[in-house]
Amino acid sequence: MVGPEGYIEKAGWALKEEATFDSNELQDQLDAETIYDIIEDEIVPIFYKRDKQDVPSKWVSYVKNTIAEIAPQFTTKRMIDDYSDQYYSRMIARTKQLRKNDFDLAKKLAAWKKKVMRGWSSIEVVSVTFPDSAKNQFKLGGKFVCEITLDLNELSPEDIGVEIVFGKKEVDEIKSISQKYQMTAINQENKVVTYKCEVFITRSGVFEFAFRVFPKHELLPNPLDFNLVKWI
């Protein structure tokens, strides 16, 4: 499998994806030193090591692997196929679906979006319950159990989804999502709904997480189609 920036083993070299430092300046210095070390210790030796025919055999093997394993993944045909399969074909099918019966589904979706936009700011957090990982570090095989109760006011449970999102924290900010789990509604009294999630612990330590509320409807092609989100 081709990794980020088209890297595969034996067809090139790569820096670690994970940052060592929170400071961009320090990370840039480390990456620069790493690049120079790779050039000196790995790239230059195999480029200048020649066989009896004065051919750098190992270097040539890297070139061949690049041509055979990486180049086919970055052709124009592959790009067009991906766009067609992942986007254009799906968009055409969705357009046909929305046009049926004098745009009946499109009208229903537009009415639903209008309702959600009107009631989105009325969602209230009643309570949030979760274990304090800073005081009690979790053990492997254990469970992280959390609950959140929301007063949806103008909206219904069918209009929203609720997730707990775990992420990597850098400089007091979560910049990337490592895992996310859907929360399940376990109790409802009028428009007050309690959601719960149980996550099995596969890594010990202190967790950084947040709750995310987003609009949900079967006609939305993906969550990004409706740019509303509430972080808790």
pLDDT attached to residue 4? 62
Contact 108, 98 (CB under 8 A): no
pLDDT attached to residue 199? 86
Supply 80's token pair.
């067009």
Q: What is the mean pLDDT of residues 10-26?
A: 85
Within 8 A by CB and 6+ apart from 34, the residues are 15, 16
Contact 204, 139 (CB under 8 A): yes
Q: pLDDT, tens digit, for every residue of 43-62?
A: 999 999 999 999 999 999 99
Res 187 pLDDT > 80: yes
- Average pLDDT value for the chain: 87
Q: pLDDT, tens digit, for every residue of 37-46?
A: 999 999 999 9
pLDDT attached to residue 122? 95
On whether the pTM is more than 0.85, the answer is no
Q: What is the mean pLDDT of residues 137-164?
A: 88
pLDDT attached to residue 126? 96
Q: CA–CA separation, 197 vs 79, rounded Å?
A: 39
Confidence of residue 116 (pLDDT cuts 50, 70, 90): very high
Reading phi first (left if > 0) and then psi (alpha if -120 to 50, else beta), residue 102 is in: left
- Assign 157 to helix, strand or coil: helix
* Helix H or strand E encompassing 195: strand 192-200
Q: What are the backbone angles phi and psi of residue 107, rounded to the nearest 5°?
A: -65, -40
Res 201 pLDDT > 90: no
Q: Give residue limits of the domains in the chain.
A: 4-74, 121-231
Candidates 58, 75, 56, 61; CA nearest to 6 is 75
* Helix H or strand E encompassing 222: none
CA dihedral 61, 67, 68, 74 (to 10 degrees): 150
CATH code for the domain defined by 121-231: 2.60.40
In degrees, rounded to 5, the angle at the alpha carbon of residue 117 between the alpha carbons of residues 146 and 96 is 105
